[in-house]
Amino acid sequence: MSLEPAGDEQEKFRANFKIISSCFASLPFKIPGTAFYRGIKARDRMYAMFDSTIAHRRKGKSFKQDFLESLLQKHSRETSEGEDDDKLTDAQLKDNILSLLVAGHDTTTAALTWLIKFLEENPVALEHLREEHLTIQHRRENGSSLTWSEVNNMPYTNKVINETLRRATILPWFSRKAAQDFDIDGYKIQKGWSVNLDVVSIHHDPKFFPDPQKFDPSRFSEPMKPFSFLGFGSGPRMCPGINLAKLEISVFIHHLICRYKWNPLEKDDSVQPTLVRMPKNKYPVLVEPALEQSCIQGPKHCASIRNEEHVTFIIRPREKEK
């Protein structure tokens, strides 16, 4: 949507988005005062914002090369490309944009939060990961950016991401509709029933993941039994955002690991009981430049980081979110 990260529009967007996320799994009673009702109202305000942005773009008042623009071009009724039947209406476009935002934002945020927590608690894994990223950084020409092929060649990072998604199980359940009658462990399931998968139990089953509470990325060195790891689901409804999510997480890890170290400001292992599982305290940390001795680029490189204006900062939830 090319919204700027600050400003009035963004604040309104953020406020409505937060209401939608928190009301997402509420009981569907459209009665004033219920969470569902608040969610529907926030969704309508969000749709009104999309309407005005879409109208603005259609009048040619602004051109941005972004996701919204490609949707609008592909589904414009004025272009000859494709049959009209394949084209989404504006209402469908807005639904799709909102679905992607809802499905893609909190999940990725939660994954990054858990990852920072698990790495801090597992210094051996952190060291191994740091080695992988410092080696990539070391090979690069000075000042060049991370390349696509580098991102696709981070084997240990991939294992760390999978192990994070297994231990945290960000989406603790999702459902399927039974395509036919069947029996499972003596229970009869009828065609058409909704079947919820208890992914937390699957991810912590010692038959598939020995010592399941242990954070051990190396367990992903061996091929997994099909359907035992469901961090992004499986089958035709598997998460379509898997590659984007992995890309975002890998780029974030690279910059964090190469330049900084961090310490938690609070110790609290409780989990927020929402649809997307998150540490309850959102895991606030104090971030500082990495130590010289852990940097294979040598003391000069670390000194340059230390001389930056803001060397120490704290990542914590905003006051009203706590």
Backbone phi and psi for residue 182, each to the nearest 5 degrees, phi listed first: -160, 165
Other beta carbons less than 10 A from residue 265's beta carbon: 13
Amino acid at 117: K
- Of 31 and 91, nearer to ligand HEM (C-beta) is 91
Binding mask 118-157 for ligand HEM (x = CB under 6 A): ----------------------------------------
239 binds ligand HEM (CB under 6 A): yes
How far apart (Å, rounded) are the C-alpha atoms in residues 297 and 99? 43
Query: Binding of ligand HEM at residue 244 (CB under 6 A)?
Result: yes
Q: Residue 285's beta-bridge partner residues?
A: 264, 315
Q: What is the four-CA torsion angle of 188, 193, 199, 203, rounded to 10 degrees?
A: 40
Q: What is the sign of the dihedral through the CA atoms of 243, 244, 249 and 252?
A: positive
- Please tell me whether residue 238 binds ligand HEM under the rule CB under 6 A: yes
How many residues bind ligand HEM, per CB under 6 A? 23
From the CB of 85, what's the least distance to ligand HEM, in Å? 21
Name the minimum Å distance from CB 319 to ligand HEM. 26
For residue 239, say whether it is annotated as part of any ligand binding site: yes
232 lies in the binding site for ligand HEM (CB under 6 A): yes
Q: How many residues does the chain have?
A: 322
> Pick from 111, 122, 119: which is nearest to 278 by CA?
111
Closer residue to ligand HEM (CB): 40 or 202: 202
Among 35, 103, 151, 200, binds ligand HEM (CB under 6 A): 103
Which parts of this chain interact with ligand HEM (CB under 6 A)?
99-100, 103-104, 107-108, 111, 165, 170-171, 174, 231-235, 237-241, 244-245
